[in-house]
Structure 1
Amino acid sequence: MDISARLKTIVNLIDKCESIADIGTDHGYVPLDVIKNNICNNAIASDINKGPVEKARINVSMEGMKDKIECRLGPGLTTLKVGEVQGVVIAGMGGNLIRDIILQGYDVFKNLDFAILQPTQNPEVLRKFIFEKGLEIIKEDLCIDEGIYYEIMKVKCQEFKNPIEKNEIYYEISEYLVKTKHPIMKQYICDKIKRYKLINDKIRDTTESALRRKKDIEFKINKLEGIKECL
């Protein structure tokens, strides 16, 4: 079973371990792939909705993996017991929702070795939350899947530090990917600049809030332009 570029990038960040859980499972594709490639011995495919769980069950059964992959129905990390898995994947949802899932299941989260997080939007919200919690992003990756950019973060859950202060622009984009000069980081930043310019051009109001919004966007554009030149 072939998986998408997005899911493959996620799988490539998963440490070899006994067991992982895929929260918000995508038809059980990630659990199936990690078992087939001997990355994990067991896996849990979990989702808040019945549809994805049933699809995962069908795929797991078809692949003859029922003894290796358990499918569970429930919200976020509530389907897991503390210490039951070494890592989790929380992918394919907004940064705000991923943050909330972590907070609501923090007893489970803080006992994990690692978490792979892939926000579909608002990555800045998630990064800010991670740094303010004193958590460490140990690795990041970036891919394009069907014309869409996806940022993937690998977080170390157990080593808590004091809140980490970052330049605001590094909530917006990955400092790790800038420093390591990721091969598609420059075009990703160019795409962000283009979208910010389009948004800025559409702001016609002269209200205080509109002018403040324009100033904020222009600040981000200038910062991104500077970073782009270093790549």
Structure 2
Amino acid sequence: MKLSERLQAIANLVDDNVILADIGTDHGYIPVYLLNNKKIKYVVAADINKGPLENAKKEILVNNLQNKVDLRLGSGLSVLKIGEVDEAIIAGMGGVLISEILEDSFEIAKDLKKIILQPMQASDELRKYLYNKGFEIIDEVLVKEDFRIYEIIIVRYKGKVSEVEDNIYYEVGKKVIEKRDPLVLEFIGKKINECKKIIQKIEGKEGEKIENKIKECNYKIQKLKELKSYVC
């Protein structure tokens, strides 16, 4: 089985010989790939919807992996018991939803040795939540698939609330700046362009909210350019 670039990058971050939970498993591609490559021991594959879980079941049966997978229908980490798995993947959802999943099953999340998060949007809101709730960001990875760059955030609970030295690190993970991720310059460039497009869309309109939004976007552009200069 060949995974997409995004899914492969997520799979590569799972440690060897762990019991894994794949939350929002969809077709179960990551669990099947990891089990076929003998990287993990066992997996709990969960989804809130029956359709995706049925798709995962078919994939698991085709690969004769039914003895190594526990399929569970349910919401987020609530399908797990404390200490049942070592690591979890929560991928392909919005950053706010991922935050809610962690908050709703906080005791379970705290107990995990590692959580691999891949927000589709609102990664800044997710980072704010993580820092404020005592999670440590161990690493971050950028991966490009087609024309989009995805962010993967690897965390574990440390119990210590952290403050970022600059709010721009909610927008762009500090880890990808520090290690000069190969995609970071392109990623920052996309962020700058997004801000410019917002300004172009609302420029000429009146109102306090409009003015504040333009100021916010210009501030972000300035900070993003500073990050770009640092990486260069």
TM norm structure 2: 0.96
Structure 1 residues 187-202: aligned runs within 5 Å: 187-202=186-201
Per the alignment, in what secondary structure is the counterpart of residue 40 of structure 1?
A: coil
* 1:78 equivalenced with 2:78 (yes/no): yes
Structure 1 residues 36-47: aligned runs within 5 Å: 36-47=36-47
Which deviates the most, 33-42 or 174-183?
A: 33-42
Counterpart of 1:142?
A: 142
Rounded to whole Å, the distance in 1 between the matches of 2:180 and 2:107 is 35
Identity, in percent, stands at 39
Letter in 2 for 1:155: V
Cα deviation, residue 226, structure 1: 1.1
Counterpart of 1:218?
A: 218
Rounded to whole Å, the distance in 1 between the matches of 2:161 and 2:189 is 33
Rounded to whole Å, the distance in 1 between the matches of 2:93 and 2:36 is 25
Counterpart of 1:181?
A: 180
Q: What per-residue deviation string (whole Å, max 9, x for no partner) do you get for residues 42-85 of structure 1?
A: 00110000111000000000001000111111111111111110
Q: Is the 8 A contact 1:17 1:41 kept in 2?
A: yes
Q: What per-residue deviation string (whole Å, max 9, x for no partner) do you get for residues 164-209 of structure 1?
A: 3341100000110011001110011111111110111111322011
* 1:94 equivalenced with 2:98 (yes/no): no
Instruction: Give me the CA root mean square deviation.
Output: 1.0
Counterpart of 1:50?
A: 50
Unaligned runs of 5+ in 1: none
Q: Is the 8 A contact 2:92 2:119 kept in 1?
A: yes
Cα deviation, residue 26, structure 1: 2.7
Per the alignment, in what secondary structure is the counterpart of residue 163 of structure 1?
A: coil
Q: Is the 8 A contact 1:17 1:86 kept in 2?
A: no
* 1:124 equivalenced with 2:151 (yes/no): no
Rounded to whole Å, the distance in 2 between the matches of 1:5 and 1:146 is 9
Cα deviation, residue 225, structure 1: 0.8
Rounded to whole Å, the distance in 2 between the matches of 1:106 and 1:227 is 33
